[in-house]
Structures are given as C-alpha cells and as structure tokens.
C-alpha cells in the first residue's frame, strides 16, 4: 500500500511539471570557437576555453588600469580596450604574455569610422557629424544602426516617414523623415512579437498590439480574449493568480502556467522573458500602493 502511495505521488509530481527549455551552460559547450563566441547582452564574454573544456568566465568589474596584459583587458574587463601592441590571431598564451601597452577606458570617440562606431558595455554610441559620439536617450540618435543597438534599459525603435522601419532596412535617405523613439507595444506589427516591450505586457487584440489601459470602454476591454479586466471604469491587466481554472490560465501561456499540485495559476518560470512580466507586476503593485496611500491621505484630510 505504501509503495502504491509513493508511486502515485511520483506520477502526480511528474505530471505537474511543465515542458521547460534546457538552459545552455558554459560547461555543456564542447567547441572552443562556440565557447569564446558566447556573449551576454552587453557583448561581454560569458565563457572561456581552459584546458580542453569550456568554463564560466569571471567578469571582474575593476578599473581598466588594473588589467596588466592584453588577454585580461580584452576578455576580463568591462568597457575597456587595449592601447598598445596587439597580438595576432587572438592566441591565448600570446595575449597573456603581451604587456606592451596598457588597458584604458573604451570611449565612443575611439571609433574613427562609421562602420566601427558601435555600442559596447553599457555605453551607447552613434555616428554624427563624421565622428562617433555617446548618446544617452533614444531621441538623440541620428542613425538607424545606433537606434537599434542601444545599451539602454529601454529599447529604442527607428521611425521613418511615420512608420516603424523594417529590420531588412539598414539606413535612410536624405529625403526620409527619421526619428528614434522609446519602443512601445503599438510599434509591434504582428501577434508573435506582441508579448513584452520595455517591461510592459502587450495585448494582441482587435486593434493590433496595445496595452489593456489603452481600451477606454467596457466592450473594447473585454473583447481581448480574456486578457484584460474592466475594473473601476478602467481596463486593467489580468494577473496570473486571478485565473481560477486551468483553461483560463492557458489564455496567457507566455506569462502563466497551471500548477497541478497547488491547483492554481502562477507566473510561468520557464519563460525567458519572465523578468519583464515581474517588472510589469511590480509597476502595477507600486501604482496600487500609491493609490491606497492617496485614499488614506484624503480620508485623514477629510
């Protein structure tokens, strides 16, 4: 009887697991070239090849001047460049032995051509007036390349002649109207891409890609496949825990999953963009806290 009980629990546990993706680790990579080419979102090397195996690289966030050879400056530093003699072929041992130079802070101005001018680390660069300059906000970019490859927390999008420039187009002409703006849900043109933009959840509905808050009537709000909720005369996003059945939970497969053991809808831990949804919920909760504080303040004032 005990064996049957244990077996039942094991089966129930396995049945409750979602089909998750397998995360690639440095240790799972067996090719040296792929090991060295693995980068993070800031183009920093994540892995390094050490004695016939790939290992996780330790990124030391030290001042550039602390790196004393070409190898550590190139692979270990953050936003630094090697100012001196460069090794040929990126040979590891040769780079480690190369001390004919110094490690200095990388700057946009170090790039002398439009082709080389690109963002790095947490610095965003753009080619303007025949020089590479640092840019700190979307609206200050003057090129498509710079606008698309920013290192800001917020993503930017190039708008040409009033429309989002397609990914196949790399530049504009002197006759085009160009602006670089902070990307919003409305800039997504198909349902597949309409998920998250800059930490905000997007809804693909009858008017394209939008946010729940953009629907200002009850009818428009509830027509969006059960993804939005009409509450207190405003359209709001439905959070995972508000779905009380597995069928409803499936309405947001990108964000939610049904936990069969706990019989509840919860945040989908297998999705790569989970942090975006978490940020969105944090913003929603902060907004709710502010509303509560204002209500309490009015009560006491009254």
**Structure confidence by residue, pLDDT tens digits, 20-75:** 345 578 888 888 888 878 776 556 677 878 778 888 876 666 889 989 999 989 88
Output the pTM of the full model: 0.60
**For residues 188 and 201, what is the distance between their CA atoms, to the nearest angstrom?**
12
CA angle 100, 102, 108 (to 5 degrees): 130
Say whether 231 sits in a helix, a strand or coil. Answer: strand
pLDDT at 160 over 70: yes
Q: Could you tell me if 122 and 113 are in contact, meaning their C-beta atoms sit under 8 angstroms apart?
A: no
Average pLDDT value for residue range 98-118: 94
Name the percent of the chain lying above pLDDT 70: 76
What does the pLDDT read at residue 138? 96
| Chain centre to alpha carbon of residue 32 | 27
**Nearest-CA neighbor of 80 among 53, 101, 50?**
101
**Nearest-CA neighbor of 119 among 129, 131, 137, 107?**
107
Average pLDDT value for residue range 151-159: 90
Neighbour tally for 70: CB within 10 Å: 23
What does the pLDDT read at residue 44? 64
What does the pLDDT read at residue 12? 41
Say whether 42 sits in a helix, a strand or coil. Answer: coil
**For residues 135 and 129, what is the distance between their CA atoms, to the nearest angstrom?**
13
Q: Could you tell me if 267 and 255 are in contact, meaning their C-beta atoms sit under 8 angstroms apart?
A: yes
Least confident of 35-39, 95-99, 147-151: 35-39
Average pLDDT value for residue range 90-98: 90
**For residues 125 and 109, what is the distance between their CA atoms, to the nearest angstrom?**
9
pLDDT range class, residue 165, cuts 50, 70, 90:
very high
pLDDT at 143 over 90: yes
pLDDT range class, residue 148, cuts 50, 70, 90:
very high
Any bridge partners for residue 158, and if so which? 180
């Amino acid at each position: 009887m005990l064996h049957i009980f244990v077996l039942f629990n094991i089966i129930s546990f396995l049945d409750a697991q979602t089909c998750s993706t397998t995360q690639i680790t440095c240790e799972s990579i067996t090719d040296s070239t792929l090991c060295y080419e693995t980068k993070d979102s800031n183009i920093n090397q994540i892995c390094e090849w050490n004695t016939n195996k790939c290992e996780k690289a330790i990124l030391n966030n030290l001042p550039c001047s602390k790196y004393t050879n070409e190898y550590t400056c190139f692979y270990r530093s953050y936003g630094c460049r090697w100012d001196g003699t460069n090794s040929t072929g990126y040979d590891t041992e040769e780079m480690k032995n190369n001390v004919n130079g110094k490690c200095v802070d990388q700057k946009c101005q170090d790039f002398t051509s439009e082709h080389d001018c690109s963002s790095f680390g947490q610095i965003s660069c753009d080619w303007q007036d025949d020089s590479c300059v640092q840019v700190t906000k979307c609206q200050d970019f003057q090129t498509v390349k710079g606008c698309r490859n920013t290192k800001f927390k917020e993503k930017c999008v190039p708008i040409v002649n009033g429309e989002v420039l397609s990914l196949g187009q790399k530049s504009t002409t002197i006759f085009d109207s160009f602006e670089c703006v902070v990307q919003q849900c409305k800039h997504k043109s198909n349902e597949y891409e309409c998920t998250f933009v800059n930490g905000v959840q997007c809804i693909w509905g009858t008017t394209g890609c939008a946010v729940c808050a953009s629907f200002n009537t009850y009818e428009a709000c509830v027509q969006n496949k059960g993804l939005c909720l009409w509450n207190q005369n405003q359209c709001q996003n439905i959070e995972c825990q508000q779905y009380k059945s597995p069928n409803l939970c499936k309405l947001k497969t990108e964000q939610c999953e049904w936990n069969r053991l706990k019989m509840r809808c919860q945040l989908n831990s297998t999705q790569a963009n989970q942090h975006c949804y978490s940020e969105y919920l944090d913003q929603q909760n902060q907004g709710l806290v502010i509303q509560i504080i204002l209500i309490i303040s009015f009560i006491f004032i009254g």
